Amino acid sequence: MIHVIARMEIKPGCMEEFLKILLGNTPTVLAEDGCYRYESCLDTKAEDKDKYVTILETWESEEHLKAHLATEHMAKFRDAVKDLRYSSNVTVVSPVK
């Protein structure tokens, strides 16, 4: 099992459109083989809640994550949000055994 922390900085005035696209894509991601969690989160600090989106993901394996990233719906997602965000930072971790 692996966990993904994907944090994106959203451009001013773009949060509503970004979230509409993200949340519209979420059921498709959750239906993917090996996806256990795909949860969108906003910062709790008032000054950052309209600036950042963090997606918490859990996948059965790194292979499942790679397959997810190669899907057509994720390519469409990346294209749809490319002008709505400044940056994206992804961290992949696995539990200590």
Supply the CATH number for residue 73's domain.
3.30.70.100
Q: Is residue 97 part of a domain?
A: no
Look up the pTM and report it.
0.92
How many domains does the chain divide into? 1
Q: Is residue 71 part of a domain?
A: yes
Average pLDDT, the chain: 96
Question: pLDDT at position 95, please?
Answer: 94
Q: Is residue 7 part of a domain?
A: yes
Residue 73 pLDDT class (50, 70, 90 cuts): very high
Containing domain of residue 82, as a range? 2-92
Residue 50 pLDDT class (50, 70, 90 cuts): confident
Burial of residue 17 (CB within 10 Å: 0-12, 13-18, 19+) is: middle
> Bigger pLDDT: 13 or 46?
13
Can you say how many angstroms the Cα of residue 3 is from the centroid of all Cα atoms in its chain? Answer: 12
